[in-house]
Amino acid sequence: MMLKHHIVVHLRLGVIMKIMIFLLLILFTDNVYSYPDVKTYIPEQAYQYLPVIKKETDNLFKEFPYPFYFGALIEHESCITLTHKNKIYI
């Protein structure tokens, strides 16, 4: 009888721990769907610099297979987030 009670208590604690871990994961993870799609989103301020980036990439790196790299690098190095109001572009 004692062993049966011990097993039931152990199983209940296991379920409670799994629920607590699940709730903590939900609490401390960002909602991925709240951010813009980084594959298609271009910040508004970036449009003024796109022609310059394209021109310089074409002039200096004609054979470079990833022309989008430099725009992404500028965004990565100068933006806190894609939607942050104080984005800085070179």
Q: What is the pLDDT of residues 30-82, one digit of tens each?
A: 666 666 776 777 777 778 888 988 898 889 988 888 888 888 888 777 766 65
User: Could you tell me where the DSSP H helices lie in 35-80?
Assistant: 50-60, 69-78
Q: Quote the tokens at residue 43.
A: 């910040």
pTM: 0.45
Compute CA distances 64 → 16, 27, 50, 59, 74, whole Å.
55, 43, 17, 11, 17
Compute CA distances 54 → 17, 32, 71, whole Å.
54, 30, 9
